[in-house]
Amino acid sequence: MADAAAQAPTRGPLVARDRLWHPPAYAPGYKTSVTRAPSRALIAAPSTLSEETGPVFGRDMLGEMDNNLILNFTGQPAIGERIIMHGRVQDDQGRPVPGVLLEIWQANAGGRYRHKKDGYAAPLDPNFGGGGRTVTDDGGRYEFLTIRPGAYPWPNGPNDWRPMHIHVSVFGSGFGQRLITQMYFEGDPLIARCPIVNTIKDRSAIEQLVAPLDMAAAIPMDCLAYRFDITLRGRRQTFFENRPEGL
């Protein structure tokens, strides 16, 4: 693996996505995908400038509380089990990716979203908005302070429940790296039963979304921590990039 001190390249062709690692568009266990999955094959071609470039977000656009979901809605603390969600954004060779905008959203401690479409019986927490954002630092690191989201039922099968999860939106340095995913929590028995989790066919791909409890990052008498590292779609090494270290 390349020296972690080297940062991921920000230009150059993108490596093709492994479509067998990602969930397929059509996954009948997740019923909504049945009418929303394209039935024709994707048109594949090497990336162009349109996918290799992308918007850039600086840390200067962030508000002080943007990554603190416990306080960022009203300034009064949200109810729930306090947790740190943290990790590193890296490329396919393990090199850190700085300047990555991460946006997250989640249900409150009772499993209810602050959204007009969510009518679940669990109450809204007046002090929990459910959204946060940050930009990775020079080492590709990020951190959120939040509460553990509750599991919630959803209309799919007769008795389907979403495991505890946090939705995560990720920008790379190219628009072709754009990704949305979900983080799950180690040990949650609902993960294995979830039709959305199981749209992913490969068990080790699912494990990539399960954040382990991280007692080294937990703060005694304050909060637990979970670690969620994110790997972006890679860029191909170009001849010119290789030469300084390779020759």
The catalytic residues are 113, 152, 162, 165, 167
Least distance to other proteins from the beta carbon of 187, Å? 19
Least distance to other proteins from the beta carbon of 81, Å? 20
Residues 6 or more apart in contact with residue 29 via CB below 8 angstroms: 195, 198, 199
Residues 211 to 230 in contact with other proteins, rule: CB under 8 A: 230
Least distance to other proteins from the beta carbon of 49, Å? 6
Interface residue with other proteins, options 8, 70, 73, 96 (CB under 8 A): 73
Stretch that binds other proteins, among 20-28, 78-86, 140-148, 214-222 (CB under 8 A): 20-28
Interface residue with other proteins, options 100, 110, 174, 210 (CB under 8 A): 174
Least distance to other proteins from the beta carbon of 221, Å? 28
Stretch that binds other proteins, among 77-85, 191-199, 217-225, 239-247 (CB under 8 A): 191-199
Rounded to 5°, angle at Cα 18 from 193 and 47: 140
Tokens of 57: 């977000």
Count CB-CB contacts under 10 A for residue 80.
18
Interface residue with other proteins, options 4, 137, 141, 169 (CB under 8 A): 169
- 32 touches other proteins (CB under 8 A): yes
Nearer to other proteins, 117 or 220 (CB): 117
Nearer to other proteins, 103 or 137 (CB): 103
Distances (CA, A) of 113 to 79, 84, 240: 14, 20, 48
User: What does the alpha-carbon distance between residue 243 and residue 205 come to, in Å, rounded to a whole number?
Assistant: 33
Least distance to other proteins from the beta carbon of 231, Å? 5
Query: Parallel, antiparallel, or unpaired: how do β-strands 152-154 and 160-162 relate?
Result: antiparallel
Stretch that binds other proteins, among 78-86, 87-95, 137-145, 216-224 (CB under 8 A): 87-95
Interface residue with other proteins, options 86, 97, 173, 210 (CB under 8 A): 173
Contact 147, 166 (CB under 8 A): no
- 190 touches other proteins (CB under 8 A): no
Instruction: Give the closest residue to 23 by CA, choosing from 235, 228, 207, 196.
Output: 196
Distances (CA, A) of 131 to 24, 146, 147: 27, 9, 11
- 193 touches other proteins (CB under 8 A): no
Continuous segment of H or E residues that includes residue 146:
strand 141-147
**Total residue count of the chain as it appears in this document:** 247
- 8 touches other proteins (CB under 8 A): no
Distances (CA, A) of 234 to 32, 47, 181, 246: 30, 12, 17, 19
Residues 129 to 168 in contact with other proteins, rule: CB under 8 A: 129-133, 167
